[in-house]
Amino acid sequence: MSRQIQYKLLTCFQLLHYNGFRVKKFVLCFCLFSWLTISAYPAVMKITVDAPIHPVTSEYILNSITLAEQNNHDLIIIVINTPGGLDSSMREIIEKILASEVPVVAYVSPSGARAASAGFFIGIACDLFVMAPGTNTGAAHPVGVSLTGQAMDETMAEKVTNDAASYIKSIAGKRGRNIKMAEAAVRDSLSYTEQEALEGQLIDLVAQSEREILAHFHGKTIQRFNGEEITLNLQNQDIVEQPMTGRQKFLLTISNPNLAYILLMLGLLGLYFEFSNPGAILPGVLGGISILLAIFAFQILPINYVGLILILLSIAMFILDIKIQSYGILSIGGVVAMVIGSIMLIDAPIPELRPSLNFIIPFAVGISLIFIFLVVLAVKAHSRRSVTGSEGLRGKIGTARTALQPEGKVFVHGELWNAEADQEIPEGTKVKVVEVLPNLKIKVTKID
């Protein structure tokens, strides 16, 4: 049995155990045997981060490091390709790396990849920092926005920059890396190729593959962040890949800003349709689910609440246009509020965490037109003449079944009614209903 299969079985058992499932005794014994085998022959764990740094990727890295510590791995390789991300998630990852019992390697790969902004901080914090040919790192100047979407003022921006610069200098100095280059990446947004980073002693190696990393560092002694020195034994080590869980993959998918925006719009549209036509059920159910998924995604993405309020205000304007004869002014205001709110909704420090303008503007306009179409249908329904009850009977044409002097019987709307008139009406004359009187009686007039 291969070590890869044994490792997967062990991971499966751990996941079952964490979720409270019970397994049969022979499965437990088999997993225990696999664990003992793996413990005797430690492996190298490989995790791949090809996304912005946010709570989902942070959870993935943190859980993987914990699992590597439990399984006594000799090394963790984080294959990283990221444009950056959120400062809070980045600091969680760095804290875990610095406290890890297992040495961690940041490997910027494949060729064409980058470890920018938060990715640069994570690379500097790792025990070893390696880049593949044709990659780059740096450009780590902090960018912040407020809840209203306004950029930080000059004083606050300077404070944040100084804090980030001190943070990177502290880590780089402890790791024995080039402090000046690390600080310049923060203060001046400098970015470095793999050769520039290697020559400046910012990274430890330029490697084509993970195997080359293991061969190069086998037998080398490295100093951990706590000052401890260890010698790496990486000869003939298996590289075991630790993928994201299904839950993490799902959360990573819905954290896409374009998808989160679609979920919000479809949710609002479904709820609007349900409230406008109570009893439809399906639009309300789908709308509620979409809204909940969008809210969860917004916990990951940095939301501008002014933009969200503008979107909700646009929905209110569309609804008011049904009740108030504004001659389309409210609907136009709703379209403007919808588009502006959509543009402002997600204001992240990097483009990868913001929805594309080429996407959200046409989508916002399209959703607005759908709302307007539903408003027009509602207005027409409200202004349409009633066809039931007393209002529906008024104006109907019937026939006098008896002479009205001034009371008698008329046949109208498929029914025989007691009727009265202001003049005598002969039997068989066409009559028109002008009013519905109490006691199931109608008032009619003669049609010439």
The span from the CA of 224 to the CA of 230, in Å, is 8
Catalytic choice (34, 58, 109, 117): 117
Q: What angle, 0 to 180 degrees and rounded to 10, lies between the N-to-C axes of helices 154-175 and 87-99?
A: 20
220 is catalytic: no
Catalytic choice (39, 88, 111, 159): 159
The span from the CA of 351 to the CA of 353, in Å, is 5
Comparing C-alpha atoms, which of 246, 347, 256 is closest to residue 293? 256
Return all residues near 121 (Cβ < 8 A) that are at least 6 apart: 90, 94, 140, 167, 168, 171
CA distances, 292 to each of 256, 271, 295, 395 (Å): 15, 12, 5, 49
191 is catalytic: no
Active site amino acids:
117, 159
